[in-house]
Chain A
């Protein structure tokens, strides 16, 4: 994904590593990822100071993943499949109109329940990803101007404004990745008994 500037799956992977395997693994993935990405990069290698900020920023995703794991969200994950089936939910005679309506309503009810459940989960993970990305962007944009401006405040303001287009792309893409890939991977790995 190097061709699409600031759209990267790496953040979601760090988050997933921390959520599924703990903070130490998450931070390890963050450090190793930037260790590679910071030096072997077609856009050029980062200097050590900026790299240290990038690694620190990447750790925000690991912290978020670890923190989210310790909330009640972990217990509310729809790990077990509880899809209502028509035969199980409708004991009434199937030939009556009322029974047919009941079948439809039961199916619809199950669909809506699943939709709301997954939607809320996506919203939670998406927001977590967005806030982590915001923190990452604020830190790294600030670091980019740290030694080029007369004051820390100037570095922050200039970094935020000049980095805004990249931050916007980064945040929107991470909102999408965290809302889709993260919950799907976590539920799938839980169902497979991992993490």
Chain B
């Protein structure tokens, strides 16, 4: 036991001389890897916030109101497109164009046409409030931004007042407007 004790003491003394050196090596390794990891995270962040090669990435939900919904996720669109262009690109749209308003009135999407009190409502997902808000403008006037999430919901609301509309995702948070 005594020899083991002296061994431990001897080891402690000799290792004390070189301890800082080896700790220094570990610090160097940690610094180099942390630096590279930082650069990597920086690069990831750049790609996350910027458009994809000049294109915008948009997620679109189409709720047909009959229990069927369809997500068109990560659609890459040119920055010049509006939401009507995107909708027409990912689905079969029936619309009438009003030149005075410079707007398309959506009558049907993928064969689901408005009738009686049922029509297509337009929604935008608000990152700030983590909820859906009815769009105050039509699809033609929605300027797309990267990582935007938008939705069409076919429903028969009791009134034309958006506060009485149901959000496109059942039990999701509904906001009166997107918080700034």
List A residues at the B interface (Cβ < 8 Å). 98, 101-102, 105, 109, 116, 120, 123-124, 126-127, 130-131, 134, 160-162, 164-165, 167-168, 171-172, 175
Contact A127 B25 (CB under 8 A): yes
11 cross-chain CB contacts under 8 A: A109-B4, A109-B7, A123-B26, A127-B29, A131-B32, A134-B32, A164-B42, A164-B43, A167-B36, A167-B39, A168-B36
List B residues at the A interface (Cβ < 8 Å). 1, 3-4, 7, 15, 18, 22, 25-26, 28-29, 32-33, 36-37, 39-40, 42-43, 46
Residues of B within 8 A of A162 (CB): 43
Residues of A within 8 A of B33 (CB): 130, 168, 171-172, 175
A75 to B33, CA, bound (A): 30
> Which residue of the partner chain B has the closest CB to A108?
B4
Partner of A171, one of B15, B36, B46: B36
A179 to B22, CA, bound (A): 14
Chain B: minimal CB distance from A111 (Å): 13
A127 to B24, CA, bound (A): 10
Contact A165 B40 (CB under 8 A): yes
> Which residue of the partner chain B has the closest CB to A137?
B36
State the 9 A-B residue pairs at the shortest beta-carbon distance, nearest first.
A164-B39, A164-B40, A168-B36, A127-B25, A105-B4, A123-B25, A165-B40, A161-B43, A161-B39
Chain B: minimal CB distance from A76 (Å): 11
A105 to B22, CA, bound (A): 26
Chain B: minimal CB distance from A67 (Å): 15
Chain B: minimal CB distance from A144 (Å): 14
Contact B40 A126 (CB under 8 A): no
A175 to B46, CA, bound (A): 28
Residues of A within 8 A of B1 (CB): 98, 101-102, 105
Contact B29 A164 (CB under 8 A): no
Residues of A within 8 A of B28 (CB): 127, 130-131
Residues of A within 8 A of B29 (CB): 126-127, 130, 175
Contact B40 A168 (CB under 8 A): yes
Contact B40 A130 (CB under 8 A): no
Chain A: minimal CB distance from B180 (Å): 32
A120 to B24, CA, bound (A): 12
> Which residue of the partner chain B has the closest CB to A126?
B29
A160 to B40, CA, bound (A): 9
Chain B: minimal CB distance from A135 (Å): 10
Chain A: minimal CB distance from B155 (Å): 45
Contact B32 A171 (CB under 8 A): yes
A161 to B22, CA, bound (A): 29
Chain B: minimal CB distance from A117 (Å): 11
A102 to B43, CA, bound (A): 57
Residues of B within 8 A of A127 (CB): 25, 28-29
> Which residue of the partner chain A has the closest CB to B44?
A165
